């Protein structure tokens, strides 16, 4: 009898719960106490589904090796410390929302860590498939004219442009993953031009900068493909598709970019107050350098208004609200993930783990310019999936497949991996 594997339904439920973010029923005109935060229902469904499937999976779904926890525990330690910091948050700090975010992230990470131990590469593959589908849904929704901000920036399903750009770019990474996964079949690249146009139309300067950062980091792994004829075919196909798409909506996107990047950013030097937020974040940190101000303390102390509740920079936010202790725990979590990922020999690292690393680097880059703690959840999830090496039958299957692919070009090649 073949081993039971995590189902698409379970991984899909975890993905939907992750993608939902801060979605509340108030966005659709409803207000129900407790249940108003849809995460209550979604997370309950995810946990129950996981427990049922794990029970059905038997030994194949159990933690065979306690060493797998080495990647998870440092992240949970950071989140636990942030929750504890609520005890010294100043008066006026709205800690309930932040605590619910941190608890939600902890639940997601525990579920994904167990799924990774069960069958890591299958979970990553399904997750990238769902990111690809989500990219199309978000793009089509925004391209239809709905969800735009007052300035014309593209967004979708109640999220802002900075959320939209993350979905678009992660859709690009998903397309690249399937392109390499299925031996360079060009059909998988069809989504790249619309997702790239969507990313540009979001007007998110931080998101585009993060895309540039992740691309530069991934270039060494892509170099074997860039030197091959496969690259020429792929670029030609993408150029044709992009040209067709640009002829339809290019003028609108160009006007938006000229207004957002040229007139607003370069000429008027508009930074969305990021310079003010970063300066205030440093001030809060220097005033409370050891333990920080406590979660949501930045907002309570600076009182910059309801639109500026957080620093929009993950490391600086952790430093301001968690002090040097929080910053050390953040760096320790990064180091632990990097160490666990590097434990797997280069030639045994699967395409799935490499793709997850690069996608996580993009989310980290985006978290340097926008978002709160919860907006970094996909970074932690992707890096956790990449760092945990599955044990038992699933682990043996992954190692065998990786060893058989050492000559493959692109993300799955043996050159240029992170670290």
Best-predicted range by mean pLDDT among 92-106, 244-258, 264-278?
92-106
**At residue 321, does pLDDT exceed 90?**
yes
Helix segments in 61-144, DSSP class H: 69-84, 95-143
**At residue 310, does pLDDT exceed 60?**
yes
Taking only the tens place, the pLDDT of each residue in 192-212 is 999 999 999 998 999 999 999
What pTM does this model have? Answer: 0.89
**At residue 303, does pLDDT exceed 70?**
yes
Rg (CA), the chain: 21
Taking only the tens place, the pLDDT of each residue in 336-392 is 999 999 988 888 889 999 999 999 999 999 999 999 999 999 999 999 999 998 764
The residues spanned by each domain of the chain are 8-57+71-412
User: What pLDDT does residue 325 have?
Assistant: 98
User: What pLDDT does residue 393 have?
Assistant: 45
Best-predicted range by mean pLDDT among 44-48, 75-79, 215-219?
75-79
Higher pLDDT, 280 or 234: 280
CA distance 225 to 234: 10
Taking only the tens place, the pLDDT of each residue in 138-187 is 999 999 989 888 888 999 988 899 999 999 999 999 999 999 999 888 89
CA distance 359 to 366: 11
User: What pLDDT does residue 70 have?
Assistant: 86
**At residue 84, does pLDDT exceed 90?**
yes
CA distance 301 to 308: 12
CB 186 within 8 A of CB 233: yes
3-state helix, strand, coil in the chain (%, to 5): 75, 0, 25
Taking only the tens place, the pLDDT of each residue in 107-131 is 999 999 999 998 999 999 999 999 9
**At residue 327, does pLDDT exceed 80?**
yes
């Amino acid at each position: 009898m073949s081993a039971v594997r995590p189902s698409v339904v379970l991984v899909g439920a975890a993905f939907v719960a992750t993608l939902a973010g801060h979605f509340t029923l108030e966005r659709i005109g409803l207000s129900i106490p407790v249940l108003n935060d849809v995460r209550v229902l979604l997370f309950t469904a995810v946990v129950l589904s996981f427990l049922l499937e794990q029970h059905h999976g038997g030994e194949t779904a159990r933690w065979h090796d306690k060493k797998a926890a080495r990647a998870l525990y440092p992240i949970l330690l950071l989140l636990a410390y942030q929750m504890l910091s609520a005890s010294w948050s100043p008066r006026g700090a709205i800690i309930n929302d932040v605590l619910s975010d941190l608890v939600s992230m902890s639940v997601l990470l525990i579920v994904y860590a167990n799924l990774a131990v069960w069958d890591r590469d299958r979970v990553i593959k399904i997750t990238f498939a769902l990111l690809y589908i989500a990219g199309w849904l978000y793009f089509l929704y925004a391209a239809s004219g709905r969800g735009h901000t007052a300035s014309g920036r593209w967004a979708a399903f109640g999220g802002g442009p900075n959320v939209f750009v993350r979905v678009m770019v992660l859709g690009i990474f998903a397309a690249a993953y399937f392109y390499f996964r299925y031996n360079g079949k060009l059909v998988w690249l069809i989504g790249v031009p619309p997702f790239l146009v969507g990313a540009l139309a979001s007007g998110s300067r931080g998101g585009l900068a993060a895309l540039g950062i992740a691309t530069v980091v991934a270039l060494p792994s892509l170099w074997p493909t860039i030197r091959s004829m496969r690259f020429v075919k792929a670029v030609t196909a993408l150029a044709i598709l992009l040209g067709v798409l640009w002829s339809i909506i290019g003028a609108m996107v160009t006007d938006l970019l000229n207004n957002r990047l040229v007139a607003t950013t370069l000429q008027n030097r508009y930074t969305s107050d990021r310079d003010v937020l970063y300066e205030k974040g440093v001030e809060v940190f220097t005033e409370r350098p050891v333990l920080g101000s406590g979660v949501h303390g930045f907002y309570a102390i600076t009182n910059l208004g309801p639109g500026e509740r957080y620093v929009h920079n993950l490391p600086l936010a952790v430093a301001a609200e968690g002090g040097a202790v929080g910053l050390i725990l953040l760096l320790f979590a990064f180091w632990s993930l990097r160490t666990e990922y590097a434990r797997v020999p280069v030639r045994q690292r699967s395409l799935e783990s490499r793709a997850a690393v690069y996608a996580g680097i993009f989310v980290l880059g985006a978290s340097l310019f926008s978002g709160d703690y919860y907006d970094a959840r996909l970074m932690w999830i992707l890096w956790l999936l990449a760092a945990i090496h599955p044990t038992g039958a699933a682990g043996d299957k992954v190692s065998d497949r990786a060893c058989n692919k050492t000559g493959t070009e692109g993300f799955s090649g043996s050159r240029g991996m992170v670290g």
